[in-house]
């Protein structure tokens, strides 16, 4: 159930039978030849497809994340950690006040991982509420499925190249890219990161057959649905 397709009375009626909310966490950042909104597109879509048969409410994606290394790439937006967690706290506080009690943060961006520690703090301050962070792309079954096809999978590589993250008229390079030196990447600022990465892909192939990608997606949706179902403690 997408909140974007409901009015407030329908949400009030929903809260009479369920207190779960799924909040997709994304990012707006460079993804080489793919959409700048790749992380947001994937987090929101996997959440919506997973929640649909369960009738659980899915909120619009929180489309900005923590990605300071990519600030030299036009279109990339990074929030300070303090800003990010403050906004996330406001989101949870707003929904808790209305009667939501169980929250799944369906995360699509590695830079957002501080949300996991914040969830523990927020629960300690708000007893009776549960917040779980689900990193959909690195959940065990999904990651295993990725590695079934190719163990070399990284940011902006084939593993994020789905029909819904590609851009019309943009061709993908045919040859794989050598894996980036992560120690060098972590040691520099945004300009150094751009100089090191070039197009932005961390390494590996740029695309794989759609049949494989859809198999990975089916696993991700199933695993995300299981996370929404619980157990919730």
Distance CA 224, CA 217 (A): 10
We report the CATH number of the domain holding residue 159 as 3.40.50.10310
Cβ-Cβ contacts under 8 Å for 41 (sequence gap 6 or more) = 26, 35, 164, 165
Q: Read off the pLDDT of residues 86-129 as tens digits, 9 standing for 90 and up.
A: 999 999 999 999 999 999 999 999 999 999 999 999 999 999 99
Number of compact structural domains in the chain? 1
User: Which residues form the domain of 47?
Assistant: 3-229
**For the chain, how many residues are written?**
233
Mean pLDDT of the 217-230 span: 98
- Assessment of whether the complete model's pTM goes beyond 0.85: yes
Strand locations in the chain (E): 20-25, 57-58, 102-107, 130-135
């Amino acid at each position: 159930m997408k909140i974007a397709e409901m009015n407030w009375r329908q949400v009030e009626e929903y809260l009479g039978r369920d207190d779960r909310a799924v909040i997709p966490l994304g990012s707006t950042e460079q993804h080489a030849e793919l959409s700048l909104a790749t992380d947001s597109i994937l987090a929101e879509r996997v959440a919506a497809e997973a929640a649909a048969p369960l009738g659980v409410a899915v909120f619009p994606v929180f489309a900005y994340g923590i990605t300071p290394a990519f600030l030299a790439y036009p279109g990339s937006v990074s929030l300070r950690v303090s800003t990010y967690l403050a906004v996330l706290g406001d989101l949870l506080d707003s929904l808790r006040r209305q009667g939501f009690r169980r929250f799944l943060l369906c995360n699509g961006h590695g830079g957002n991982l501080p949300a996991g520690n914040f969830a523990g703090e927020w629960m300690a301050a708000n007893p009776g509420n549960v917040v779980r962070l689900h990193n959909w792309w690195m959940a065990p079954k999904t990651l295993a499925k990725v590695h079934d096809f190719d163990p070399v999978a990284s940011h902006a590589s084939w593993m994020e190249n789905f029909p819904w993250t590609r851009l019309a008229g943009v061709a993908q390079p045919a040859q794989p890219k050598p894996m980036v030196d992560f120690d060098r990447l972590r040691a520099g600022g945004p300009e150094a990161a751009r100089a090191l990465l070039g197009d932005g892909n961390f390494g590996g192939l740029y695309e794989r057959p759609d049949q494989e990608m859809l198999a990975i997606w089916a696993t991700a949706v199933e695993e995300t649905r299981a996370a929404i179902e619980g157990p919730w403690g």
